[in-house]
Amino acid sequence: MSNIRVSAVEYLNARPLVYGLDARSDLFDCRFDVPAKCAAMLHDKSVDLSLIPSIEYFGHSDYRIVPDIGVMSTGPVASVALFTDRPATALRSVAVDVSSRTAVALLRVLCAQWFDIEPTFVTLRPDLPAMLKRCDAALLIGDAALYQEHETNGLDKVDLGEEWTAMTGLPFVWSFWAGRAGCIDTNHIDALRTARDNGIQHLDQIAEDHASAEDDDSLAIAKKYLHDNVSYTLNDHARAGMKKFFSAAADLQIVPSGGKLHYFE
């Protein structure tokens, strides 16, 4: 066994996957960041294992996926959404946050195959008012989307997880653990599964630790999100959703065609 460098997404939805990992310093040296940074650290070998956005897997034939574990949704995900005051089918421009390539890739697939539109994409910082000054809609991810009080601003929330499942009937896999072949052994995999299982058993505690103690509304949103919107077992149904998404992304030349998913033994 050896201690490996690990990067994990700092968002609420990843917290159940790392529950108690900080106590396993014999196996893991953990750090947290935004999705794009987690992927970048794996790509440049600053870390050995990372919870990466699913689109970041392609182009790296030496990567392997930790089996059975991921962040996925079936139906509404709540934390990845378009905010707009017009129908999705009428959008001409969309402001997107550069920190989430997976959400942008999913949006491109939905625009082409579901909304039947070809909007212009403009990369901006995740500032909703500024984004909507420039474009017809804004794509937000993570806590910015989850806690957004859109209705008070007269905006609709178009949930990308919900739209994906409506189009395909399948879950969407947002992220998973990945690293280079040989970087972990069965002890690491067992510990990651144990962390996931313990996290699922302590969802309310995770929500309470994440949300403001003085804000009952944010706590209720966090609890509902962890219990109802996201799940953490990468089963056959979820893997079918992954394959569907990667095939659609390859059709749009977002990822290379013919890519295969490889798992740690």
pLDDT band at 25 (very low <50, low <70, confident <90, very high): confident
| Integer angstrom CA distances of residue 39 from 68, 131, 135 | 20, 25, 28
Instruction: Place 211 in a pLDDT band, splitting at 50, 70 and 90.
Output: confident
The model's confidence at residue 18, banded by pLDDT at 50, 70 and 90, is very high
Domain ranges, residue 89 = 80-168
**If pLDDT is split at 50, 70 and 90, which confidence band does 225 have?**
very high
Whether 175 contacts 105, CB under 8 Å: no
184 and 60 within one domain: yes
Tell me what the mean pLDDT of segment 36-56 comes to: 92
Average pLDDT, the chain: 92
- pLDDT of 212 over the 70 cut: no
Output the domain CATH number for residue 134: 3.40.190.10
Domain membership of residue 190 (yes or no) is: yes
Q: Of 118, 145, 168, at which residue does a domain stop?
A: 168
pLDDT, position 37: 85
Dihedral through CA 233, CA 211, CA 8, CA 64, nearest 10?
A: 10
Q: Are residues 100 and 130 in the same domain?
A: yes
Question: Do both 140 and 184 map to the same domain?
Answer: no
Number of domains into which the chain is organized:
2
Among residues 122, 143, 168, which one ends one of the domains?
A: 168
**Per-residue pLDDT reduced to its tens digit, 147-200:** 998 988 899 999 999 999 999 999 999 999 999 999 999 999 999 999 999 999
Same domain, 18 and 53: yes
Percent of the chain residues past pLDDT 70, beyond the cut: 98
| Structural domain contains residue 215 | yes
- Cβ partners under 8 Å of residue 158, min gap 6: 81, 82, 83, 84, 88, 137
**Which of these ranges, 59-63, 79-83, 242-246, has the smallest mean pLDDT?**
59-63
For the beta carbon of residue 112, count every other beta carbon within 10 angstroms.
Answer: 14
On the question of pLDDT at 1 being above 60, the answer is: no
Q: What are phi and psi of 177, to 5 degrees?
A: -75, 135
Higher per-residue pLDDT: 255 or 73: 73
54 & 108 share domain:
no
pTM of the model: 0.92
Alpha helices in 79-185 (DSSP H): 101-110, 128-134, 143-146, 160-168
262 located within any domain: no
* 190 and 164 in a common domain: no
Confidence of residue 35 (pLDDT cuts 50, 70, 90): confident
